[in-house]
Amino acid sequence: MRHGGDAEGRTAKRSGRSDPWKVAFVTLLIVTVLSVVTWVLLGSRLLVVRDVEVSGIERLAPETVEAAVDVPTGTPLARVDTDAAARRAEELRLVESAEVSRGWPATLRVEVTERTPRLSIRVGEGYRLVDHQGVRITDSDERPDDHPLVKVRGEVEGNRAITTVAHITDELPDRVLGSLVSIDASDPENITFELDGGASVLWGDGRNAREKTDALAILMREHPPEAERRYDVSAPDVAVVK
């Protein structure tokens, strides 16, 4: 009985002990699989950039964005630095933002948000359309009807007054936007509007745009625009008509 018990104990110990050959085989199998996956991702010609797909553009040509992204065909998709590629695309003047992603198995996707014209500036005998940061979008010989004409002092691009006016026009109702002749933001603390028919608006600075808009709407409803009428909403809680 004692010998039988010892044999059973040895058998149990052997069954509970890992087989070194089995461990080695499993380890080798894992390393092989990982090596194959790594090779497929980084070294083979299976998952490489073959196409660059550009979306969200109207003014830019796809080839221009593709050149800016600067990821050669044949580059393994897994090796592409998508953040760096997006930053290169954003260096284009007409690109406000870009997002680059991988489209397996062989496509690099570039989603672009283009800058859009918001305001117009008089330049010489023509007009320049700019976005909310003053970045030039395009030029026109004719005055654009759907982009308010703005006067500012100094450089246009990066001008704080441009950003302020763009924010203000976001709040203005269509009735006011449609009657705007020009906006004088030479002094960003004392912005004024010229309206159709000779009326004007003293807007003041860029703060409280929503409150000023509401006050202006009330004044214009109670006192319709006419020549030399002046609306003062620079202090919206005490808005007046002169």
List, for residues 225-237, the tens digit of each pLDDT value. Answer: 999 999 999 999 9
Residues 179 and 225 placed together within one structural domain of the fold:
yes
State the average pLDDT for the chain. Answer: 87
Which of 114, 130, 165 terminates a domain? The answer is 114
Residues 203 and 234 placed together within one structural domain of the fold:
yes
Over residues 164-215, the pLDDT tens digits come to 999 999 999 988 999 999 999 999 999 999 999 999 999 999 999 999 999 9
pLDDT at 1: 46
Residues 6+ apart with CB under 8 A from 57: 65, 112, 114
Binned at pLDDT 50, 70 and 90, residue 145 comes out as confident
What mean pLDDT is predicted for residues 82-101?
98
Over residues 18-52, the pLDDT tens digits come to 577 666 656 665 655 554 444 444 455 568 999 99
Residues 86 and 195 placed together within one structural domain of the fold:
no
Residues 98 and 201 placed together within one structural domain of the fold:
no
* Cα dist from 139 to 84, 131, 178, 204, 205, whole Å: 31, 12, 22, 29, 28
- The CATH number for 89's domain is 3.10.20.310
Domain-located, residue 40:
no
What are phi and psi for residue 58, nearest 5 degrees? -130, -45
Residues 128 and 222 placed together within one structural domain of the fold:
yes
Residues 155 and 196 placed together within one structural domain of the fold:
yes
pLDDT at 30: 66
Percent above pLDDT 70 for the chain = 82
Domain-located, residue 200:
yes
Residues 177 and 81 placed together within one structural domain of the fold:
no
Domain-located, residue 86:
yes
pLDDT at 212: 96
pLDDT at 80: 95
- The CATH number for 159's domain is 3.40.50.10960
pLDDT at 45: 59
Residues 92 and 131 placed together within one structural domain of the fold:
no
Percent above pLDDT 90 for the chain = 76
pLDDT at 59: 96
Could you tell me which residues are beta bridge partners of residue 184?
A: 151, 192
Higher-confidence residue of 218 and 45: namely 218
Range of the domain at 11: 2-34
The total of structural domains in the chain comes to 3
Residues 141 and 177 placed together within one structural domain of the fold:
yes
Domain-located, residue 45:
no
What mean pLDDT is predicted for residues 122-133?
96
Residues 11 and 93 placed together within one structural domain of the fold:
no
